[in-house]
Amino acid sequence: MTLERLASVDDDPRTDDSTAAAAAMRRRTSAHARVHLMRAGGLLAAIGALALCVMLSVSVGAKPIPLATVADALWNFDGGYDQSVIFELRLPRTILGVFVGMALGLAGALMQALTRNPLADPGVLGINAGAAAAVVVAIFVFGLTSVSAYVWFAFLGAAVAAVAVYTLGARGRSGATPIRLALAGTAVGAVLMGFIHGVIVTNNFVFDQIRFWQVGSLVGRDIGIFLKILPFLLVGIVVALFLGPALNAIALGEDLAAALGAHINRTRLVTALAIVLLCGGATAAAGPIGFVGLTVPHVARAIVGPDQRWLLPYSAVLAAILLTGADTLGRVVLPNGELEVGIITALVGAPVFIALVRRTKMASL
């Protein structure tokens, strides 16, 4: 190539444009890589915080056990009193709290993504109440008392409540707006809780079986209960974590999602199935614990934005931190006795729910 041709290439504005475009693309790629790296680092930090919460949950109680003893017991079991307390009482309770928290956090994030409703939550939308009412029916009508027996009732109750709330909230010209769904969930939940309380006050057997379970508690849950619900929670958790890309596509709008190749109806069906598995399993084991699925996804969204690929794992880990931390706090706030974990999460989540309602435009009614 002659010098004249080289000079003409250098002077060509298209060359400058392509070079600038390539540089801009490299900068965007580098920025995206940094963002993903920061999000991955934040998730690892959250997992580390969860590990610390687990250690504290095993250590704190009526009989404090030093963290060194807890760490040693995990590797060298010698059958001593402290280690028996750890393995027979506190560790099963803590593991159950981790999985129930993950299930509720993921269920809330899935519901908010699927309905585009910032107020969506298994408790606010009546799904927890549906599962609880079905469990009461299982105890009252059929005399069932074990988790393995009434877990199917919890799943069925969660599914029926979800369908009822969406049907009521979607009536009218404006469709299923956030406020409408929240009001429908509140109404359905109130009816179901009235039924639950009516059965409890008239039947001592049901009252004895459900009184601690109803407020949401991890007290007295052994490893057997955890193992019975583990398959359902594992399937729900794995399915939920793989739904991120599909939910991202649906967030762009149905027409654009279909153009991108997303299977909208299939995604909705699989998401609903995951929600029922997560809510049903968690409620069957620990009772109707509210507000975890409402508050945690908003915290995760403030950290990582709306990308469901990151929002879902963050919601799972942060919800597990919240539930295990609340359970640990409930053991020390009262001088004699414990405060149930469902009460602690309600005290944390209720102000957040009120703030979200106040921010939602009342014109959407």
Q: Amino acid identity of 213? A: W
| CA 309 – CA 160 distance, rounded (Å) | 28
More confident residue, 99 or 252: 99
- Does residue 313 carry a pLDDT above 90? yes
Which position has the higher pLDDT, 264 or 246? Answer: 246
Over residues 288-315, mean pLDDT: 90
Percentage of the chain exceeding pLDDT 70 = 85
Topology of the domain comprising 97-364: ABC transporter involved in vitamin B12 uptake, BtuC (1.10.3470)
Distance from C-alpha of 25 to C-alpha of 98, rounded to nearest angstrom: 41
Query: So what's the pLDDT on residue 365?
Result: 44
Q: How far is CA 244 from CA 129, 251, 320, in A?
A: 27, 11, 19
Query: For 99-153, what is each residue's pLDDT tens digit?
Result: 999 999 999 999 888 877 787 777 777 888 898 899 888 888 888 877 667 778 8
More confident position, 32 or 227: 227
> Distance (Å, rounded) from C-alpha 137 to C-alpha 298?
34
Per domain, the residue ranges of the chain are 97-364
What pLDDT does 349 receive?
A: 76
Q: Is the pLDDT of residue 286 over 80?
A: yes
Q: Which band of pLDDT confidence, cut at 50, 70 and 90, is reported for residue 336?
A: confident
Q: Which residue has the tokens 């799972």?
A: 316
Q: How far apart (Å, rounded) are the C-alpha atoms in residues 320 and 189?
A: 25
The pLDDT value given to residue 341: 87
Contact predicate 320/301, CB 8 Å: no
In angstroms, the CA 362 to CA 302 distance is: 23
Structure-block tokens of residue 312: 């879902």
- Is the pLDDT at 200 greater than 90, yes or no? no
Question: CA-CA distance, 181 to 168, in Å (whole number)?
Answer: 8
Res 310 pLDDT > 90: yes
| Count of CB atoms situated within 10 Å of the CB of 330 | 21
Whether pLDDT at 208 is above 50 = yes
H or E stretch at 279? helix 264-286
Which pLDDT score is estimated for 363?
Answer: 39
The values of phi and psi at residue 144, to 5°, are -80, 140
d(CA 46, CA 124): 26
The Cα-based distances of 191 to 37, 104, 161, 197, 213 in angstroms read 47, 22, 11, 10, 19
Mean per-residue pLDDT over the chain, rounded: 81
Residue 202 clears pLDDT 80, i.e. is over it:
yes
- In this prediction, residues 45-51 reach a mean pLDDT of 95
Q: Is this model's pTM higher than 0.85 or not?
A: no
